Structure 1
Amino acid sequence: MTLEELNQMAAQGAINELELCSLEGGFYVLLARTEEGTKPLLDASGDTVQVRSITHLRELLHFTPPVPCVMVQQVVHDEMCGMRDGPVEPLRVPVGLSEPW
Protein backbone atom coordinates (compact mmCIF):
# COMPACT_ATOMS: atom_id res chain seq x y z
CA MET A 1 0.00 0.00 0.00
CA THR A 2 1.45 3.34 -1.03
CA LEU A 3 1.08 6.54 1.00
CA GLU A 4 -1.51 7.79 -1.50
CA GLU A 5 -3.55 4.58 -1.11
CA LEU A 6 -3.22 4.84 2.68
CA ASN A 7 -4.54 8.41 2.61
CA GLN A 8 -7.47 7.44 0.38
CA MET A 9 -8.41 4.46 2.54
CA ALA A 10 -8.08 6.50 5.74
CA ALA A 11 -10.38 9.16 4.28
CA GLN A 12 -12.93 6.41 3.52
CA GLY A 13 -12.62 5.01 7.06
CA ALA A 14 -11.20 1.72 5.74
CA ILE A 15 -8.11 1.75 7.99
CA ASN A 16 -8.80 0.24 11.43
CA GLU A 17 -5.39 0.97 12.91
CA LEU A 18 -1.79 1.76 12.01
CA GLU A 19 0.98 -0.27 13.62
CA LEU A 20 4.49 1.15 13.82
CA CYS A 21 6.52 -2.05 14.27
CA SER A 22 9.90 -1.72 15.96
CA LEU A 23 12.56 -3.90 14.33
CA GLU A 24 16.16 -4.76 15.07
CA GLY A 25 18.58 -2.16 13.80
CA GLY A 26 16.75 0.88 15.14
CA PHE A 27 14.11 1.34 12.46
CA TYR A 28 10.39 0.77 12.10
CA VAL A 29 7.93 -0.33 9.45
CA LEU A 30 4.36 0.91 9.21
CA LEU A 31 1.54 -1.59 8.80
CA ALA A 32 -2.08 -0.67 8.07
CA ARG A 33 -4.76 -2.95 9.53
CA THR A 34 -7.84 -3.20 7.31
CA GLU A 35 -10.79 -5.59 7.08
CA GLU A 36 -8.80 -7.54 4.45
CA GLY A 37 -5.70 -7.90 6.66
CA THR A 38 -2.46 -6.10 7.37
CA LYS A 39 -0.60 -4.25 4.63
CA PRO A 40 2.85 -2.59 4.83
CA LEU A 41 3.51 0.95 3.63
CA LEU A 42 5.44 0.77 0.35
CA ASP A 43 7.38 3.37 -1.62
CA ALA A 44 6.96 4.08 -5.34
CA SER A 45 9.26 1.17 -6.29
CA GLY A 46 7.36 -1.33 -4.13
CA ASP A 47 9.91 -1.54 -1.31
CA THR A 48 8.82 -1.38 2.33
CA VAL A 49 9.24 2.13 3.76
CA GLN A 50 11.66 2.23 6.69
CA VAL A 51 10.53 4.78 9.27
CA ARG A 52 13.40 6.25 11.30
CA SER A 53 11.48 7.67 14.26
CA ILE A 54 8.09 8.82 15.52
CA THR A 55 8.95 12.31 14.23
CA HIS A 56 9.60 10.83 10.78
CA LEU A 57 6.26 8.97 11.02
CA ARG A 58 4.44 12.22 11.86
CA GLU A 59 6.11 13.93 8.88
CA LEU A 60 5.10 11.04 6.58
CA LEU A 61 1.48 11.07 7.75
CA HIS A 62 1.11 14.85 7.94
CA PHE A 63 -1.73 14.86 5.38
CA THR A 64 -3.28 11.53 6.41
CA PRO A 65 -6.74 11.72 8.01
CA PRO A 66 -6.74 10.79 11.72
CA VAL A 67 -6.31 7.06 12.33
CA PRO A 68 -5.47 5.27 15.61
CA CYS A 69 -1.79 4.35 15.73
CA VAL A 70 0.24 2.13 18.07
CA MET A 71 3.93 1.32 18.30
CA VAL A 72 4.43 -2.44 18.54
CA GLN A 73 7.58 -3.84 20.11
CA GLN A 74 8.32 -7.45 20.95
CA VAL A 75 9.30 -8.07 24.57
CA VAL A 76 12.73 -9.50 23.88
CA HIS A 77 13.70 -9.87 27.54
CA ASP A 78 10.79 -12.25 28.17
CA GLU A 79 11.66 -14.26 25.07
CA MET A 80 15.33 -14.56 26.08
CA CYS A 81 14.75 -15.44 29.72
CA GLY A 82 11.79 -17.72 29.16
CA MET A 83 10.14 -16.66 32.40
CA ARG A 84 6.51 -16.71 31.25
CA ASP A 85 4.30 -19.63 30.39
CA GLY A 86 2.40 -19.40 27.12
CA PRO A 87 2.72 -16.86 24.34
CA VAL A 88 4.42 -13.51 24.97
CA GLU A 89 2.34 -10.62 23.67
CA PRO A 90 4.14 -7.61 22.17
CA LEU A 91 4.16 -4.25 23.90
CA ARG A 92 1.59 -1.92 22.24
CA VAL A 93 1.97 1.80 23.00
CA PRO A 94 -0.48 4.37 21.57
CA VAL A 95 1.16 7.01 19.39
CA GLY A 96 -0.36 10.45 18.89
CA LEU A 97 0.26 11.53 15.31
CA SER A 98 -0.70 15.17 15.77
CA GLU A 99 1.49 16.00 18.79
CA PRO A 100 4.90 17.50 18.06
CA TRP A 101 6.57 15.64 20.99
Structure 2
Amino acid sequence: MNFVELRAYAIAGKIDELNLISMEGGIYLLEARMHGAAYPLSDARGEMFHLRSVEHAREVLHDFPSLSFNLVHTSVHDEMCGLGSGAEESLKVPIAFRSAWHH
Protein backbone atom coordinates (compact mmCIF):
# COMPACT_ATOMS: atom_id res chain seq x y z
CA MET A 1 0.00 0.00 0.00
CA ASN A 2 1.43 3.38 -0.91
CA PHE A 3 1.00 6.66 0.96
CA VAL A 4 -1.84 7.94 -1.27
CA GLU A 5 -3.80 4.71 -0.80
CA LEU A 6 -3.15 4.76 2.96
CA ARG A 7 -4.47 8.31 3.25
CA ALA A 8 -7.56 7.51 1.16
CA TYR A 9 -8.38 4.46 3.32
CA ALA A 10 -7.80 6.52 6.49
CA ILE A 11 -10.15 9.29 5.34
CA ALA A 12 -12.75 6.68 4.37
CA GLY A 13 -12.54 5.21 7.89
CA LYS A 14 -11.46 1.78 6.65
CA ILE A 15 -8.26 1.43 8.70
CA ASP A 16 -8.66 -0.45 12.00
CA GLU A 17 -5.24 0.56 13.33
CA LEU A 18 -1.78 1.69 12.34
CA ASN A 19 1.23 -0.18 13.70
CA LEU A 20 4.68 1.36 13.78
CA ILE A 21 7.03 -1.61 13.86
CA SER A 22 10.40 -1.14 15.51
CA MET A 23 13.12 -3.08 13.69
CA GLU A 24 16.78 -3.62 14.49
CA GLY A 25 19.05 -0.73 13.59
CA GLY A 26 16.64 2.06 14.54
CA ILE A 27 14.37 1.51 11.54
CA TYR A 28 10.61 1.73 11.81
CA LEU A 29 8.07 0.36 9.34
CA LEU A 30 4.42 1.39 9.19
CA GLU A 31 1.60 -1.03 8.53
CA ALA A 32 -2.13 -0.47 8.27
CA ARG A 33 -4.48 -3.17 9.53
CA MET A 34 -7.82 -3.61 7.79
CA HIS A 35 -10.20 -6.52 8.34
CA GLY A 36 -7.51 -8.53 10.15
CA ALA A 37 -4.92 -8.20 7.39
CA ALA A 38 -1.68 -6.17 7.50
CA TYR A 39 -0.76 -3.81 4.68
CA PRO A 40 2.81 -2.45 4.91
CA LEU A 41 3.41 1.09 3.69
CA SER A 42 5.61 1.26 0.60
CA ASP A 43 7.35 4.18 -1.07
CA ALA A 44 6.94 5.42 -4.65
CA ARG A 45 9.29 2.66 -5.90
CA GLY A 46 7.27 -0.05 -4.16
CA GLU A 47 9.92 -0.65 -1.48
CA MET A 48 9.29 -0.64 2.26
CA PHE A 49 8.87 2.91 3.55
CA HIS A 50 11.41 3.42 6.37
CA LEU A 51 10.75 5.86 9.19
CA ARG A 52 13.32 7.15 11.69
CA SER A 53 11.20 7.46 14.84
CA VAL A 54 7.74 7.77 16.34
CA GLU A 55 7.92 11.54 15.79
CA HIS A 56 8.87 11.02 12.14
CA ALA A 57 5.78 8.82 11.72
CA ARG A 58 3.61 11.50 13.34
CA GLU A 59 5.06 14.11 10.95
CA VAL A 60 4.29 11.91 7.93
CA LEU A 61 0.74 11.31 9.20
CA HIS A 62 0.06 14.88 10.38
CA ASP A 63 -2.91 15.55 8.06
CA PHE A 64 -4.54 12.13 8.55
CA PRO A 65 -7.67 11.67 10.65
CA SER A 66 -6.85 10.40 14.14
CA LEU A 67 -6.39 6.62 14.17
CA SER A 68 -5.60 3.88 16.65
CA PHE A 69 -1.79 3.92 16.65
CA ASN A 70 0.54 1.33 18.19
CA LEU A 71 4.27 0.90 18.60
CA VAL A 72 5.21 -2.74 18.00
CA HIS A 73 8.53 -4.18 19.16
CA THR A 74 9.26 -7.44 17.39
CA SER A 75 10.88 -10.40 19.16
CA VAL A 76 10.47 -8.73 22.54
CA HIS A 77 11.30 -11.95 24.43
CA ASP A 78 14.59 -12.30 22.62
CA GLU A 79 15.55 -8.72 23.43
CA MET A 80 14.20 -8.53 26.99
CA CYS A 81 14.58 -12.03 28.37
CA GLY A 82 17.36 -13.54 26.31
CA LEU A 83 15.10 -16.30 25.07
CA GLY A 84 15.76 -17.95 21.76
CA SER A 85 13.81 -17.51 18.57
CA GLY A 86 11.17 -20.02 19.73
CA ALA A 87 9.24 -17.17 21.35
CA GLU A 88 7.66 -15.32 18.45
CA GLU A 89 5.56 -12.85 20.37
CA SER A 90 5.85 -9.12 19.96
CA LEU A 91 5.01 -6.24 22.30
CA LYS A 92 2.31 -3.83 21.08
CA VAL A 93 1.96 -0.56 22.98
CA PRO A 94 -0.71 2.04 22.16
CA ILE A 95 0.79 5.49 21.59
CA ALA A 96 -0.75 8.91 20.97
CA PHE A 97 -1.45 9.58 17.30
CA ARG A 98 -0.70 13.28 17.82
CA SER A 99 2.39 14.51 19.63
CA ALA A 100 1.89 16.29 22.93
CA TRP A 101 4.30 18.92 21.61
CA HIS A 102 2.05 20.02 18.72
CA HIS A 103 -1.50 21.33 18.75
TM bucket (normalised to shorter chain) is: 0.7 to 0.9
Matched pairs, number: 98
| Structure 2: 5+ residue stretches without partners | none
Give the counterpart letter for 2:41 in structure 1. Answer: L
Q: CA deviation at 1:78?
A: 5.2
Query: 71-80 or 37-46: which moved more?
Result: 71-80
The residue number in structure 2 matching 1:28 is: 28
Q: Give the fraction of aligned pairs with identical amino acids, expressed as a percent.
A: 40
TM-score normalised per structure 2: 0.83
Q: 1:40 to 1:88 in 2, by over 3 A?
A: closer
Q: CA deviation at 1:92?
A: 1.2
**Structure 1 residue ranges, 4+ long, deviating more than 2 angstroms after superposition:** 76-82, 86-89
Give the counterpart letter for 1:72 in structure 2. Answer: V
TM-score normalised per structure 1: 0.85
The residue number in structure 2 matching 1:42 is: 42
Q: Distance in 2 between matches of 1:9 and 1:36?
A: 15
Q: Distance in 2 between matches of 1:36 and 1:90?
A: 17
